[in-house]
Amino acid sequence: MKTFKYFPNTEKDINEMLEVVGVKSVDDLFKVVPKSIKKTSGFNLGAPLSEHELRENFNSISSKNKILEIYRGAGSYDHITPSIIPYLVKRGEILTSYTPYQPEISQGTLQYIFEFQTMITRLTGLDVANASMYDGATSTAEAVLLALNHTRKDKVLVSETVDPSIVSVIETYARYQDIEVEMIPHQNGATSLKYISQSDNFGAVVVQNPNYFGLVEDYSDFQEVINEKGALFIMNNDPSTLAVIKSPKEYGVDIATGDGQPLGIPLSFGGPYVGYMAVDKKLMRKMPGRIVGMTHDVDGKRGFVLTLQAREQHIRRYKATSNICSNQSLMALWVTIYLSLMGPDGLEKVNEISYTNAHYLKLKLLKTGHFSEVFNDNFIKEFVLRANFDVKKVEKKMLNKGYLFGLPLENNLVMFAATEKLNKAKIDKFVEVLEDALR
């Protein structure tokens, strides 16, 4: 193996580490990475470029991007971003990846994280929120670990109506923790409570609301059944919808998770986003991630600090509640500014317009005669229809015409989304272009 004089590990160091983890070579260590994505040869970067040439090169690459009108969601939604947010979060005193360990020089950062936590608790109705997590999927997987740690069980039930990408992350976490993941079937897009009541020896139940298909489910009777089984109730939400649907607290949820992306964060090719977690007070000391608390100094002045740090990986590496040792504070600030600007009335208005657009879109698509109903109308901004044509083929045609078509699912199902960015005229034009593509 080639060594570099500025790398701190000697051949002896490397061999000792490999022996400890039980592999013979560095290649063995990374064999879990698929060969199809491994880089085995050097990077063909070409000759160095001047600043001007480099700028032109990147401009040439970025000019290939297409600006599309979006009719797809599936976890990432094309909501309006108020222009003041990017301006504020790029200010030099805020734009940092530094974790505010030293409160005496970090009061601004600590305060906005505290405000983020406060807003999340108000949306979810639960007692305590953390300073943010990487995204909605990791926050939900971490919630599973928290719940199973608390209940001392090794099985989790996950509804089939939960976003498959979230399920995938839960399964990855579970694979290396000897946790069994069992899927709860759904009936017409609604999680089966009967299945949960007939199951045993599980420590957590994970649901989503609105669910992956866009449906707002009624979880009124779930908490009693789940708690009788000695398990904890975990709910993943689109936080923007919590302005108009029942909160996790109202359903008796123990742990609420979700992704803050719908709260004004641009799609950005999948990130960066921000996850959140809120819990009942009894679970506070087992919650992963940073927690900012408010206190007073020796002079009685209000101040903010990182609190309950004994839970964390940088303090108790081997006994930490989680190995997530960072947060998404810049994106948490983004969400905090968005919620401050919108307020409760603004957030309700976003849902009202999205609801109107989505239901109008569904009606227009059904009138074409090329779609049929799959589920009920209990949705806000996302719904599923069955198509009678080759969805993949039409998806490509619509892409060439400037539209991101609905997401193709199995059995010729298509999932559409509509936010406040759309309007009646845009939807009418979209359906007109679609009918032309189907001729």
* Across 122-129, average pLDDT: 98
Lowest mean pLDDT among 18-22, 139-143, 160-164: 18-22
Question: How much is the pLDDT for 3?
Answer: 56
Using pLDDT thresholds of 50, 70 and 90, give the confidence band for residue 1: low
Tokens for 267, please give them.
């799609």
Q: Kindly report, residue by residue over 168-226, the tens digit of the pLDDT.
A: 999 999 998 899 999 999 999 999 999 999 999 999 999 999 999 999 999 999 999 99
Mean pLDDT estimate for the chain: 93
How many Cα atoms sit within 13 Å of 344 on the Cβ side? 5
Q: Is the pLDDT of residue 65 over 80?
A: yes
What does the pLDDT average to over 27-33?
Answer: 88
| pTM tops 0.85, yes or no | yes
The pLDDT value recorded for residue 230 is: 97
Go through the domains of the chain in sequence order and give each one's CATH number: 1-37 (no CATH), 69-79+343-437 (3.90.1150.10), 84-338 (3.40.640.10)
- Taking phi over 0 as left and psi of -120 to 50 as alpha, with beta for the rest, 127 belongs to alpha
Query: Percent of the chain scored above 90 by pLDDT?
Result: 78
Q: Can you tell me the distance from the alpha carbon of 212 to that of 139, in angstroms, rounded to the nearest whole number?
A: 17
Angle between helices 107-124 and 329-367 (to 10 degrees): 40
Confidence of residue 8 (pLDDT cuts 50, 70, 90): confident
Q: How many Å apart are CA 11 and CA 374, to the nearest integer?
A: 60
Q: How do residues 268-307 score in pLDDT, each as one tens digit? A: 988 899 999 999 999 999 998 889 999 998 889 999 998 8
Which residues lie below 8 Å from residue 204, measured CB to CB, with a gap of 6+?
143, 144, 147, 148, 151, 153, 156, 157, 231, 232, 233, 234
Q: Is the dihedral of CA 384, 386, 389, 390 positive or negative?
A: positive
Contact 338, 85 (CB under 8 A): yes
How does pLDDT run across 230-265, given as a tens digit for each residue?
A: 999 999 999 999 999 999 999 999 999 999 999 999
Reading the block at residue 78, the tokens are 């094309």
